[in-house]
Structure 1
Amino acid sequence: MGMRYRDYLVGARIYGCSTCKTHLATIHSMLSRAFNGQHGRAYLFEGVVNVIEGEPSERQMTTGNHTVRDIYCVKCGTILGWKYDFAYDVSQKYKEGKYILERNLLVDVQ
């Protein structure tokens, strides 16, 4: 499969994978802290790096039905959250193309 290159982020606060500390996102790409993941609190991000996207699947969530893809750390393979591909409810369309990262799977890295 070959070597995977990772992006390294620069900024005041960088979130990384709690397992291997691979850079994932900056505080500036965070849109909201008011989300819940499968295992507790989660953050909504506009963009993340160094992740692999899984296959799309339909999920019934507290805010309605969505098509999402699980996202995994490119280095260690830890599942980190998901990406919203499609929201069926018009009021949830703002989530499309955005990422959820679970708080307990993140660490601050510098």
Structure 2
Amino acid sequence: MVEFVGRPFFSCRSCRNPVALADDILSKKFHAKSGPAYMFANAMNVVLGRTQDRQLITGVFAVAGIHCSNCHEEMGWKYVRAYDPKQKYKEGRFIIELSKIVKEY
């Protein structure tokens, strides 16, 4: 279990299950279905859905939806594969919609 004392983190807005550390934010410039989203290096307490190819703003990617492991709320996606070599840095990263999370201290 990750130690949260003194470290801000984000939790599921529906059930308050911790899903990502604030320290793991890589970018705040992403957009998802419900609006703004953050890219995280890591996520925890999430379940991956089936991997599928999806056309996104920056190209085609193999992505897997992510859901809260507690309440099963859809939260965003994980980049599994980038077909464009310029987008490879996204592989293994998580996009989490801001409307689905709340910052905790």
TM-score, normalisation: structure 1: 0.90
Deviations 1:3-60 (A, max 9, x none): xxxx454143110000000001111111000101111000000001000000101100
In the alignment, what sits opposite 2:29?
A: 34
Does structure 2 conserve the Cα–Cα contact (< 8 Å) formed by 1:8 and 1:23? no
Give the RMSD, CA atoms, in angstroms. 1.1
Matched, 1:46 2:70: no
Q: How many residues align?
A: 104
Q: Identical aligned pairs, as a percentage? A: 37
| Alpha-carbon distance in 2 for matches of 1:53, 1:18 | 18
Amino acid at match of 1:109: E
Gapped runs of 5+ residues in structure 2?
A: none
TM-score, normalisation: structure 2: 0.94
Runs of 4+ with deviation above 2 angstroms? none
